[in-house]
Amino acid sequence: MRIMCIGDVVGSSGCAFLRQHLHSFKKQQQIDLVICNGENSADGNGITVRSAEHILASGADVITLGNHSFRRKEVFPFLDEFPYIVRPYNYPSRNIPGKGYCVIDLGYTTVGVINLMGQQFMDANMDNPFIAADKILSEIVAKVKIVDFHAEATSEKKAMGFYLDGRVSAVFGTHTHVMTADAEVLPAGTGYITDVGMTGVVDSCIGVKKDIIIRRFTTMMPERFDYATGDCKLNCVVFDIDRKTGLCTAAQSYELR
């Protein structure tokens, strides 16, 4: 089977580009399941019911989140009601909206999607993601398991890939919005990429207007982020998974423009 994982969708421009290209790419590549990170899909940051419904209507089956999961309070009830939007499993408080994983029954196999968030250089005090991974893997029942590891440090992401090698089908990194050139199958059969990139405006700094980010770095003063507009790209990775073993046989990254 083929599973497509899409990098962080940024704002209404990213959402519109996803709608334009996802259905045709799925058909062309014979994709069985689409996982899309949507934590930046609302203009102004976070995710709303509207942007979530747009992503799902565009052809995604599961939406994963990250450090902006709870930026918009209006989405809280939706996180509880809809099982295929998952926020990071390792939030220190369990009395929060949503779940950190979901299981999808495709008939011929089951797919578990797990969302974890890193600790290094992140703006949230998360439980240890490695210990959290052990816990959820002891509980989840699915032949195929895919992990979105939303983290900043490449070393932490790489370590998670090796830590879960042979125990899950694939690990794909999100959060930096910059695609890395290391899509691969690890030694024990887990597909991996350090960061799958983003779906958003090309002429931008991780989806935000360039001058805003430049001012932030040159003045060291806070700036309100405003998403850029213009020509977009869609970054993704496609994992080929053996249905019998649940392990990955190939990993290929793509950039659509």
pLDDT in tens, 180-206: 999 999 999 999 999 999 999 999 999
Q: Which domains does the chain have, with CATH numbers?
A: 2-256 (3.60.21.10)
- Percent of the chain scored above 70 by pLDDT? 100
| pLDDT (tens digit per residue) in 75-85 | 999 999 999 99
Are 225 and 236 in contact by the 8 Å Cβ rule? The answer is: no
Q: Pseudo-torsion of CA 58, 62, 68, 73, nearest 10°?
A: 80
Quick one: CA torsion of 112, 117, 118, 123, rounded to 10 degrees?
180
Stretch 232-252: mean pLDDT: 97
Model confidence pLDDT, tens digit, residues 1-36: 999 999 999 999 999 999 999 999 999 999 999 999
Q: What is the mean pLDDT of residues 64-69?
A: 96
State the number of CA atoms in the 13 A half-sphere of 50 facing the CB: 7
Token pair of 115, please? 């969302």
pLDDT band, very low/low/confident/very high, at 124 (cuts 50, 70, 90) = confident
Q: Decide: 68 and 38 in contact? Cβ < 8 Å.
A: no
Q: Considering 68, 150, 175, 177, which one is annotated as catalytic? A: 68
Catalytic, 68? Answer: yes
Whether the per-residue pLDDT at 95 is higher than 90: the answer is no
pLDDT grade for 44, boundaries at 50, 70 and 90? confident
